[in-house]
Structure 1
Amino acid sequence: MKINGAVISALFLNLSKAFTGAFTAAPSQWQEIASEVPSSGKYNDYTWLSNFPGMKEWVGKKQIKKLSEYTYVLVNKPYEATIAVKRDDIEDDQLGIYAAQAQGAGHSAKQWPDELVFGVVNKGFTEKCYDGKPFFATNHPVGKSGVSNKGTKKLSAASQEAAMASYGTARTTLMSMKDEDGRPLNVNPNVLLVPPALEATANALINSDRLDDGKANLYKGTAKVIVAAWLTDPDAWFLLDTSKPLKPFIYQPRKKPVFVQQTKVESDAVFMEGEFKFGAEARGAAGYGHWQTAYGSDGTVA
């Protein structure tokens, strides 16, 4: 095949269509647990998370809450996936493999936000959120005391006692959350997030009439089970309230994934390396919202 501008344009138009088709069809889960907070600069500052005012009776002067001494900034990072198309393959009509690679790039680009969001879930026991503590911690500062949203119990449906000690404790902990003035935050846990290894246990807790010991399941229908292969610890599990305006996790896109290409026949890459290029580019970050809306157990204690 003789290479010219028209041939290259047609080739990369087809690759773009393959990319877009795969991108559209690819599954994605991040929306279930994270809120999208767009970014228009190098970073977003989330210091405001530490002091969200609630309504109070207006007596005398308004009580103005100032931003705390904490800082929480999410810096956008660039991401890419690039594929080289050899000029010799175009000349020899050996282009079949590139359509599959374009589809693979589209699939990967669609799941890029999942990788970001579930990546911060995996790091939640060690990576700090806006108050300077790990997102899942036993000592989040609230007023003069420390509040926990972290557990150690394995998720269990073996008995009513085991279910209450694991899932029940998580549920009670979240529903008991209060603000610094002692008022209920009305947290309503509605998502049980688990890795594939805990799928059966989670479904038993949420969907079965009776637990393994034959006793009534007190927690049937209290949450939606989400199984995410992105979760890397087979024992860790999470209970979340995703009903609030801001979900427990944040997806911060600066530039959503886009198809890019280098197709000029006269380019240095073609002259020196005999290659055209295409792929995907994106820029963004992920992080933590309000820790009060999430409970995480590392599952280290039976």
Structure 2
Amino acid sequence: MIVNQQSLRGIFTGFKTIFAKAFDQSKTLWDRVATKVPSEAGEESYKWLGMIPRMREWIGDRQIQNLSASDYTIKNKDFELTIGVDRNDIEDDKVGLYTPAIQDIGQSAVTFPDDLVFTLLKNGFVNKCYDGQPFFSDAHKVGKKTVSNKGDKKLSPTSYGAARSSMMSLTDENGKSLKLIPDLLVVAPNEEANGRKILLADEIDGTTNIYKDTAELLVVPELAGADTQWYLLCTSRPLKPLIYQERKAPQFVAMVNDADTNVFMKKQFLYGVDGRANAGYGFWQMAYGSTGEKE
């Protein structure tokens, strides 16, 4: 193949089509636990995170619900993935060899939020959320009360039931129910069988399983390494427990000008994807996490 701008444009168009197809066909998990929030700046402030507002009977004047102010901010980060295509491979009509690599770029671009979101979940026992406490903590303040959304028991019907009861019993600072019903159990791969037993089995150890179908199970490969941890989430609200903030969606780009340094010095044409985004924590009330350290 003669290498000129016309042929390079054709290669770019072909690669972009392959990228787009892989991007569209790849499945993600992050959107099961996080809400996508568009961003228009280098960082976004979530001052409104705090008290969950509730409707009330209108008696007298309106009561303005001043949302609890916080200084929780999510700063966008830059992400990229780039490969080099050797000029000789183009001249020798071996461009097709790069198809799997371009497909992998497409898949990586659409699934990289999984890494961001589930790393946050895994580190939620240490990383702080809007109230200055770790996302999973036994020291959250609700009015004058101290509330916990953190456990240490291994996943079992008993610990699952306790977590479910704890979430459903949460109230606001006025003692009114938050009406949270957990609907998603999130586990690492090694706890899949245990999670399926709790949520799908008719009986457990000869006893009727009262927790059958009380939530869906989500098995997350990215949680491998934190094998004993497990999480119970309420994902039915407009704002899910975690936030995926997107400033610029992944874009397929290239450097294919003969004057580019990479072409002149290394005879490589560069193709890749870049984007701007980050992830953070939403309402801790919508999540319960256990370290699974104890029986």
Same fold (TM over 0.5): yes
Residue type of the alignment partner of 1:215: T
Structure 2 unaligned residues grouped into runs of 5+: none
Asked whether 1:71 is paired with 2:71, we answer yes
SS at match of 1:118: helix
Q: Report if aligned partners of 1:209, 1:216 keep a CA contact under 8 Å in 2.
A: yes
- Give the alignment's Cα RMSD to 1 decimal: 1.4
**Aligned counterparts of 1:221 and 1:128: Cα–Cα separation in 2:** 32
Of 137-146 and 268-277, the range deviating more from structure 2: 268-277
Deviation at 1:69, TM superposition (A): 5.1
Report what 2:257 is aligned to. 264
Report what 1:112 is aligned to. 112
Residue type of the alignment partner of 1:111: T
Report what 1:240 is aligned to. 233
SS at match of 2:211: coil
Match of 2:162 among 169, 193, 204: 169
Of 170-179 and 19-28, the range deviating more from structure 2: 19-28
Q: Report if aligned partners of 1:51, 1:65 keep a CA contact under 8 Å in 2.
A: no
Q: Report if aligned partners of 1:178, 1:185 keep a CA contact under 8 Å in 2.
A: yes
Report what 1:183 is aligned to. 176
SS at match of 2:208: coil
The within-5 A match list for 1:30-109 is 30-68=30-68, 70-109=70-109
SS at match of 2:116: helix
Q: Report if aligned partners of 1:80, 1:279 keep a CA contact under 8 Å in 2.
A: yes
Report what 2:208 is aligned to. 216
Q: Report if aligned partners of 2:141, 2:147 keep a CA contact under 8 Å in 1.
A: yes
Report how many residues are paired.
Answer: 294
**Aligned counterparts of 2:29 and 2:195: Cα–Cα separation in 1:** 17
Residue type of the alignment partner of 2:7: V
1:67–1:221 CA distance, 2 compared to 1 (3 A): closer
**Aligned counterparts of 1:169 and 1:81: Cα–Cα separation in 2:** 43
Deviation at 1:57, TM superposition (A): 3.2
**Aligned counterparts of 1:256 and 1:297: Cα–Cα separation in 2:** 33
Q: Report if aligned partners of 1:190, 1:239 keep a CA contact under 8 Å in 2.
A: yes
Asked whether 1:226 is paired with 2:248, we answer no
Q: Report if aligned partners of 2:154, 2:291 keep a CA contact under 8 Å in 1.
A: yes
Report what 1:124 is aligned to. 124
Residue identity over aligned pairs, in percent, reads 45
Listed one character per residue, the Cα deviations across residues 143-198 of structure 1 (whole Å, up to 9, x for unaligned) are 11110000011002xxxxxx22x100000000001011110000011111111111
Listed one character per residue, the Cα deviations across residues 127-153 of structure 1 (whole Å, up to 9, x for unaligned) are 011101111101101011110000011
**Aligned counterparts of 2:58 and 2:96: Cα–Cα separation in 1:** 70
Q: Report if aligned partners of 2:248, 2:275 keep a CA contact under 8 Å in 1.
A: yes
Asked whether 1:29 is paired with 2:29, we answer yes
Of 256-265 and 57-66, the range deviating more from structure 2: 57-66
Asked whether 1:297 is paired with 2:290, we answer yes
SS at match of 2:10: helix
**Aligned counterparts of 2:61 and 2:164: Cα–Cα separation in 1:** 38
SS at match of 2:48: helix
Asked whether 1:9 is paired with 2:20, we answer no
Listed one character per residue, the Cα deviations across residues 82-108 of structure 1 (whole Å, up to 9, x for unaligned) are 111121221222323321111111110
Listed one character per residue, the Cα deviations across residues 187-239 of structure 1 (whole Å, up to 9, x for unaligned) are 0111111111110000000111111x211111011000111111131110111
**Aligned counterparts of 2:101 and 2:95: Cα–Cα separation in 1:** 10
Listed one character per residue, the Cα deviations across residues 53-74 of structure 1 (whole Å, up to 9, x for unaligned) are 2223344443334354531000
Residue type of the alignment partner of 1:300: E
**Aligned counterparts of 2:26 and 2:65: Cα–Cα separation in 1:** 44
Of 278-287 and 45-54, the range deviating more from structure 2: 45-54
Report what 1:159 is aligned to. none
Deviation at 1:249, TM superposition (A): 0.8
Residue type of the alignment partner of 1:269: N
Structure 1 unaligned residues grouped into runs of 5+: 157-162
Of 133-142 and 113-122, the range deviating more from structure 2: 113-122
**Aligned counterparts of 2:277 and 2:179: Cα–Cα separation in 1:** 31
Match of 2:243 among 247, 250, 269: 250
TM-score (norm 2): 0.96
